[in-house]
Amino acid sequence: MTQTQSPVETANTTRKSLTVDELHHQMGHIAPEAARKLVRDGAITGIELDMNSKPTFCDACAKAKPTQKPILKERSGPLTANIGEKVHSDVWGPANPQIFDGKDYFVSFTNDHSQWTWVEPISHKNEVLMQYKMYEAWLDMQHHAKIKCFQMDHGGEYLSDEFNTHLKSRSTV
């Protein structure tokens, strides 16, 4: 190394061309086409990629593949016949950065019949029951409908004794 060259410049002059498989491994097993696109678009610099190399079978990726069936993007069965027959709910968060008023989460209620979704920002997951009661009251007031089936992901926010008692009192369990 000469006095005018930095260690980085010296390292770059001895670059080796990587295959798509090598980059796939070095980038944490991202899809080979994604790795190729990152280099082609200039998002990854400082390496040379053999664009003609073909990806091969990756044993690590095959072992890491999920064993459950993928969630369908389209509905497989018919919608319910009436509003309130089935309501789906989920909580998302914490949001980073916080949304307005310091709220970190969103709770959603989707009516299966109409596919209409009610979304509310909340500060804590323990507010889900209060939002459920508000949605339930709105559904009754606007559509004269009761929730007959409530579907959720069984997250802790839905499993409290208070939430279960409320659902049982409304015969929604």
- Tens digit of pLDDT for each residue in 100-119? 778 889 999 999 999 999 99
pLDDT in tens, 13-39: 455 788 888 888 888 888 888 888 888
Single pTM value for the model: 0.56
Kindly report, as residue ranges, where domains of CATH 3.30.420.10 are found in the chain. Answer: 87-169
pLDDT in tens, 40-92: 888 888 888 888 888 888 888 877 775 666 666 676 788 999 999 999 999 99
Asked if pLDDT for residue 9 goes beyond 50, the answer is: no
26 φ/ψ angles, rounded to the nearest 5 degrees: -70, -25
Phi-psi bin for 151: left (phi > 0), alpha (psi -120 to 50), beta?
A: beta
Asked if pLDDT for residue 139 goes beyond 90, the answer is: yes
CATH, range 87-169: 3.30.420.10
What are the distances in angstroms from CA 27 to CA 57, 129, 135, 142? Answer: 16, 43, 45, 52
